[in-house]
Chain A
Amino acid sequence: DAGITQSPRHKVTETGTPVTLRCHQTENHRYMYWYRQDPGHGLRLIHYSYGVKDTDKGEVSDGYSVSRSKTEDFLLTLESATSSQTSVYFCAISESMTGNTEAFFGQGTRLTVV
């Protein structure tokens, strides 16, 4: 299995509180991604990173921020959680998502905002 770990795996938080999800990799891959998965929507890209301190927005980035201070760690922060952010969040890593290499996904973090 690829060395990718998401933490926490489950979290329940209250509306309005900040939440940080962590993705840690041991593969030294350049690209790291945060997706959210919701019924009827598949996976939607929130943010991604193409190197340390280099990040870009995905299609559903509102309400989320990210940071990548080290190659191995990619943090996703919900500054003020809302119920619409209840979802399963997946981190993915890749040398090149569309190159001749495989992307690896973490096992997901189930976040519930009450």
Chain B
Amino acid sequence: AQSVTQPDIHITVSEGASLELRCNYSYGATPYLFWYVQSPGQGLQLLLKYFSGDTLVQGIKGFEAEFKRSQSSFNLRKPSVHWSDAAEYFCAVGARGNEKLTFGTGTRLTIIP
């Protein structure tokens, strides 16, 4: 069965600092990997996704993620965070032909001035 681990429940960073959110997955086949963001009281919005090819994926809002098969990781990064990035971030895994995504438990990001 597929699974996703987000080891950090809550992260606090200063505005302008760099950010890395961790995601580790478990899946027998080649995974499809996703990062979603959820602002308070809102639904989820797709930030970026990896299917194949270049292991460094660019997304919206200046985010990027790197797929590392050897480490079963898909960490999300941003070089300089903005106050508007405060939200909850979810990593998810799926696979071709498997139309059911499995989500991690989420990381809540707080930005301090």
Tell whether A and B belong to one assembly: yes
Residue of A nearest to B94 (CB): A98
Contact in complex: B90, A90 (CB < 8 Å): no
Interface size class of A (residues with CB under 8 A): 20 to 34
Could you give, for residues 31-52 of chain A, a 1 whenever the CB lies within 8 Å of some chain B CB and a 0 otherwise? 1000100001111110010100
Chain A residues near B106 (CB-CB < 8 A): 42
A14 within 8 A of B: no
Q: In the docked arrangement, what's the CA distance between A44 and B105, Å? A: 9
A100 within 8 A of B: yes
Q: In the docked arrangement, what's the CA distance between A102 and B43, Å? A: 14
Residue of B nearest to A44 (CB): B103
- Closest Cβ–Cβ distance, residue B35 to chain A (whole Å): 12
- Residues of A57-114 contacting chain B, CB below 8 A: 58, 90, 92, 94, 96-100, 102-108
Query: Hey, which bits of chain A sit against chain B, CB under 8 A?
Result: 31, 35, 40-45, 48, 50, 58, 90, 92, 94, 96-100, 102-108
